[in-house]
């Protein structure tokens, strides 16, 4: 057993998957959950995501030795202010947000002395949200990036790392600003591009044409899958990681202009070289175990 009592603040996909995995494998003594929505709390109880569910966050963190903030990034500060006075010395507080610098600045000032703050980000998820979307295998072979400060208690960091490892994750540590730049490349900008492409199709009035729906090629189909992600979460991501995202989008625009010019001028050599280089990146992702080289053309019924 790694923790005696874990409090999950917010009960969506990540928290639900954590609860199911921790309970299934006996990693903690008790899982306590809370969410603002009564419906969400009822669903969490029905699905067995937690051992018990409370109506407010302050009650949930009472006696917890680990508190996990699983709310949208924009709600982190309010939640931290609410639970701060009720945290016992020695408690570890962590989060699962996709942005780290903004979360640190929002949460840390509200935590009392003696509480260990270890920001973290599990690179796992689906386009689905809510407590019904959780499943215990979500974190298998996925990275969890931890961004503790230099002054953070090493035992608290090690203990949280042990939990993520036990839930199937590969754990690494990273500077929070570097994390935000990396995620702007690997996640945030791609999501914004996907939203844009689906929005363009809608603006053209083509997304409702039966041919587009029925015969969607894999590229557009993947865009629509990404664009189905939780709008509240992604709104907060872009607003709180705007500098890194805008930097990457600027570079993307420059690359896009270069490709436009190559297509316009018939520069086949440039296009071939560019696509060869990007193809190698895809192979690297597969070799790193972050995807599989087995096409399913969108027909797989499994997770």
CATH code, 211: 1.10.3660.10
pLDDT value at position 21?
97
Asked if residue 298 is part of any domain, the answer here is no
Q: Are residues 109 and 20 in the same domain?
A: yes
Average per-residue pLDDT for the chain: 88
Burial 178-211 (b: 16+ CB within 10 A, else e): ebbbbbbeebbbbbbbbbebbeebeeeeebeeee
Global pTM value: 0.82
Percent of the chain with pLDDT over 70: 89
Closest CA to 216 of 137, 142, 160, 299: 299
Instruction: Check whether residue 169 and residue 213 sit in a common domain.
Output: no
Mean pLDDT is lowest, of 36-45, 70-79, 195-204, 274-283, for 195-204
Do 141 and 233 sit in the same domain of this protein?
A: no
Which tokens is 251 given?
């570079």
Does residue 128 sit in the same domain as residue 10? yes
Task: Indicate whether 121 and 183 sit together in one domain.
Answer: no
Instruction: Describe the crossing of helices 242-265 and 176-183 by its angle, rounded to 10 degrees.
Output: 30
The last residue of one of the domains, among 174, 195, 225, is 174
- Give the residue numbers spanning the domain of 236: 178-287
- Mean pLDDT to the nearest integer, 225-252: 87
**Domain CATH number, residue 127:** 3.40.50.720
CA 295 vs CA 141, 218, 226, 291, 299: distances in Å: 20, 10, 18, 11, 9
Tell whether the model's pLDDT for residue 220 goes beyond 80.
no
Q: Which of 135, 150, 174 is the last residue of a domain?
A: 174
For the chain, the distance separating the N- and C-terminal CA atoms, rounded to the nearest angstrom, is 28
**Over residues 243-248, mean pLDDT:** 91
Q: Are 223 and 198 in contact (CB under 8 A)?
A: yes
Residue 297 included in any domain? no
> Does residue 89 sit in the same domain as residue 235?
no
Residue 212 scores a pLDDT above 80? no
Rounded-to-integer distance, Cα 12 and Cα 135, Å: 11
Distances (CA, A) of 219 to 12, 216, 226: 28, 8, 11
The tokens describing 21, both together, are 């995995």
The count of domains in the chain is 2
pLDDT at 301 over 50: no
**Confidence band for 293, pLDDT divided at 50, 70 and 90:** low
Give the confidence band of 298 by pLDDT, cuts at 50, 70, 90.
Answer: very low
294 in a structural domain: no
Q: Specify the pLDDT at position 299.
A: 43
**Can you give the pLDDT at residue 278?**
85
Write out the two tokens for 299. 């027909």
Tokens of 198: 């689906």
23 in the same domain as 84: yes
Asked, for residue 228, whether it belongs to a domain, the answer is: yes
């Amino acid at each position: 057993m790694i923790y005696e009592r874990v409090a999950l603040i917010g009960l969506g996909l990540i928290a639900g998957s954590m609860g199911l995995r921790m309970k299934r494998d006996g990693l903690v003594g008790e899982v306590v959950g809370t969410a603002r929505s009564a419906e969400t709390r009822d669903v969490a109880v029905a699905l067995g995501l937690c051992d018990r569910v409370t109506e407010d966050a302050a009650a949930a963190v009472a006696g917890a030795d680990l508190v996990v903030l699983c709310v949208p990034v924009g709600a982190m500060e309010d939640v931290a202010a609410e639970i701060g006075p009720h945290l016992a010395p020695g408690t570890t507080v962590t989060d699962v947000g996709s942005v780290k610098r903004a979360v640190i600045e929002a949460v840390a000032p509200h935590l009392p002395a003696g509480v260990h703050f270890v920001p973290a980000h599990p690179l796992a998820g689906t386009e689905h949200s809510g407590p019904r979307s959780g499943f215990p295998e979500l974190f298998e072979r996925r990275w969890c990036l931890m961004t503790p400060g230099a002054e953070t208690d090493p035992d608290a960091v090690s203990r949280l790392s042990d939990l993520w490892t036990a839930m199937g994750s590969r754990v690494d540590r990273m500077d929070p600003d570097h994390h935000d730049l990396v995620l702007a490349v690997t996640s945030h900008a791609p999501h914004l591009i996907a939203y844009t492409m689906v929005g363009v199709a809608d603006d053209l009035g083509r997304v409702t044409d039966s041919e587009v729906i029925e015969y969607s090629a894999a590229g557009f189909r993947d865009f629509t899958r990404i664009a189905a992600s939780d709008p509240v979460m992604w709104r907060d991501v872009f607003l709180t990681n705007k500098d890194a995202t805008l930097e990457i989008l600027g570079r993307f625009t420059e690359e896009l202009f270069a490709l436009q010019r190559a297509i316009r001028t018939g520069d086949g050599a440039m296009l071939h070289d560019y696509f060869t280089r990007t193809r190698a990146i895809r192979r690297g992702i597969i070799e790193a175990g972050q995807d599989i080289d087995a096409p399913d053309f969108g027909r797989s019924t499994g997770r």
